[in-house]
Structure formats: structure tokens, C-alpha cells
Amino acid sequence: MEYWQRLEHPANVLVCGASRGIGLALSEQLLARADVARVWAVARHASQSADLAALAERHGDRLQRLDLDCCDEAALAALAQRLRAVTPQLHLLLCTVGVLQEGAAKAEKSLTQLDLQGLLATFQRNSCAPILLLKHLLPLLRGRHPCTVAALSARVGSIGDNRLGGWYSYRASKAALNQLLHTASIELSRLNPNSCVLSLHPGTTDTALSKPFQANVPAEQLFTPHFAAERLLAQVARHGPEQTGSFWAWDGQPIAW
């Protein structure tokens, strides 16, 4: 049965990384659904996003915008407390937070370009942030209600699929994310038998994150955020507790760890 058919009540959804890119498109498509009660749109600068402001105008208080750095555990604890004050359950938790090249984080082509700062900055955002988000929101996920947790990984995080090399920090941080999510899926299935934890690859998508690396991407292989979001929500819909702890691409193909 599809995820949406398993819900007994309209879904409470949280999208972390919602101010732009794929997270923004996911928020927009979720708000268009009658079986979604409310979307919490979280990002460091959610309140400054003109696109989220436009969505808020259309959807009123079904959209709640929250400024939060999800590498900040005190802020995550406050977020969990705030959510628990208004709802006992979260049905869908999507994390699109990620970095490839920004600040200390670098898309290294060679070992000589690696440094500790870059590695740590990338791991902090790509591996630690999504799993800390899950840790703090766990009280809203445990129980028996259908709940899916999906974080955006990347095909380049697959060790089995790595033939080109390069992008050391990004690849390794996504591989670590996959392991963290797989491990969490085992614990979560004991705490909620109707849970499903997924690592998802959105495909190369035209966003700020991929902009500097789009030159050699054929036009038909560069997705719009709208298309990527549609395909990712299709993966959420078709996977349930039986597939928890797995890694999927936008087109429904499984990806090797």
C-alpha cells in the first residue's frame, strides 16, 4: 500500500533545507496535497526566503517557517519542544541539507586539495546534521503511526559505484550519512514498526549546490527542482517499513552501498 494510503490522518511534515533548491520544491508539492495537514519549513534563513514567503501567502498557517541551523543541537532541542507542543506525531521528515562547495567545504579533485577544515565542514553538514535532526525529533516518530524519514544522499556516496574518484569529502560524507541512516532505520523499526528510513539520490538538479559543476551535464540530465521533488516524493510513496534502511535513486532504481 502506498505511503499516503497508510495514513490515518493528514500528515504533519517537516522539511529541513526548505528555503531553496530541492527542499523548497518538496515543500511546495507537499502543500498542494489535501492529505498534508502542515509543513514545517526549516532552514538557516527560512524567514528570508522570498519563495517560502510566497508559499506562506498561498497556504496560510499550513506552512510554518522556522530559522534553524541543524548543526546546532540546542536549536534542534528547542525545535523538538516547539513541535511537541502542537503535535504528538510527525509523519514525514525530509532532510535536504547538504553542501558540496561553500566556505571551507571543497569539491577536491586530488588528495593534495584535502584538508581537515574542509573534511569537517562537509561531514558536519552532510552526515551529522541529518542524523542529529533525526535524534532530536525521535519522540515525534516513535509509536505506531506511519512515518517516513528520508534524507538526500547522493549516488557519488556509493562506494560500489565509485569509478571516477574525486570529491573526497562529499563522497565520504554521503557514505557516512548512508551508514547513519541505515543504523537509525534498525533502531527506529523497533520504536515504530510502521517507520521507513530512506537514503535518496535526487539526480543532478539545477540548484545553487550544483551550479559550479553543471558545465558538462547534458541538458536532459539536469533536472529542475520541481522534477526532482516529484520523483523523490514518488519514492517516498512507494516505499514502506519493508524497505527501511535502503538507498534509492530518483527513478526507483536501488543504489549499491
235 makes contact with ligand NAP (CB under 6 A): no
Minimal distance, residue 8 CB to ligand NAP, in Å: 30
* 98 lines the binding site for ligand NAP (CB under 6 A): yes
For the chain, list the strands marked E by DSSP.
Answer: 11-16, 36-43, 63-67, 92-95, 147-152, 195-201, 246-249
- DSSP result, 105-121: B---SSGGG--HHHHHH
Number of residues that bind ligand NAP (CB under 6 A): 30
Pairing of strands 92-95, 246-249: unpaired
Burial of 137 (0-12, 13-18, 19+ CB in 10 A): buried
Q: Per-residue x/- mask for ligand NAP, residues 189 to 228, rule CB under 6 A?
A: ------------xx-xx-xxxx------------------
Stretch that binds ligand NAP, among 63-71, 189-197, 234-242, 248-256 (CB under 6 A): 63-71
- Segment contacting ligand NAP by CB under 6 A, of 19-27, 51-59, 115-123, 191-199: 19-27
Nearest distance from C-beta of residue 100 to ligand NAP, angstroms: 6
* Minimum CB distance to ligand NAP, residue 6 (Å): 26
Among 14, 20, 101, 168, binds ligand NAP (CB under 6 A): 20
Indicate if the alpha-carbon torsion angle 208, 212, 213, 218 is positive or negative. Answer: positive
Q: How far is the CB of 23 from ligand NAP (least distance, A)?
A: 5
Pick the closer one to ligand NAP by CB: 146 or 202.
202
Name the residue whose CB lies closest to ligand NAP: 98
Nearer to ligand NAP, 76 or 146 (CB): 76
Q: Which residue's CB is nearer to ligand NAP, number 106 or number 125?
A: 125
The cell for 71 is 548543526
Side chain identity at residue 148, one-letter code: T
Instruction: Say if residues 208 and 19 touch (Cβ distance below 8 Å).
Output: no
Contact between 53 and ligand NAP per CB under 6 A:
no
Distance in angstroms (rounded) separating the CA atoms of residues 202 and 8: 28
Ramachandran category for residue 121: left, alpha or beta (phi over 0 → left; psi -120 to 50 → alpha)? alpha
Which of 12, 23, 52, 134 is the binder for ligand NAP (CB under 6 A)?
23
> In the window 105-164, what residues touch ligand NAP (CB under 6 A)?
125, 129, 152, 154
d(CA 65, CA 53): 9
CA 176 to chain centroid: 14
Residues that bind ligand NAP (CB under 6 A): 16-23, 43-45, 68-71, 96-98, 125, 129, 152, 154, 201-202, 204-205, 207-210
